[in-house]
Amino acid sequence: MAEEMVDVVNEADEVIGSAPRKGIHNAELRHRSAHIFLIDSKGRIWLEKRASTTDTYPGYYSSAAAGHISRGESYLEGAQREALEELGIQGLALERMHTLQASKETSNEFVAFFIARSDEKPRVHEDSLSLHPYSIEEIDGMIARGEKFVPIFLKLFKRYTEDMGR
């Protein structure tokens, strides 16, 4: 199987080359990713608990689906691919909310933030320990208790709750 390649981008998020996904963080190259909040009709957000064997943030909570944008993909194409690969839900309607600027805080990733609404139960991906829906209040409590969350998720969750007027 060929190694996954990702676009390398400049500070304006313009493609300037490509590199293997595996070493992109160690090389501190700017690149793209997408995070998807899957929200059910009760307003609960599905959270992934990452497996202890994942490359980054093992055992942390994160967005239901997230991943790098592959070489030549748009943010939407990459998000759709990640949603299908990680959640097993075909044809999710994704709404793009924001894009975080690449920085040390985002591991040099421009992060496109999408939400999807569905009551279809997602499947647990091989890189996940679990996948479970939580209310905003439950997530607030988990954060207050010091549960471990991927830093990008915390930034996106803050933006999401601000957008909702909280």
pTM: 0.91
Q: Which of 55, 109, 56, 114 is CA-nearest to residue 81?
A: 114
Query: At the fourth CATH level, which superfamily is domain 5-163?
Result: Nucleoside Triphosphate Pyrophosphohydrolase (3.90.79.10)
User: Does residue 146 come out as left (phi exceeding 0), alpha (psi in the -120 to 50 range) or beta?
Assistant: left
Task: Indicate the average pLDDT of the chain.
Answer: 93
pLDDT single digits (tens) 10-33: 999 999 999 999 889 888 999 999
pLDDT tens digits along 51-108:
888 878 899 999 999 999 999 999 999 999 999 999 999 889 999 999 999 999 899 9
How many of the other CB atoms lie within 10 Å of CB of 148? Answer: 15
What is the C-alpha separation between 15 and 43, in angstroms, rounded?
36
The domain limits of the chain are 5-163
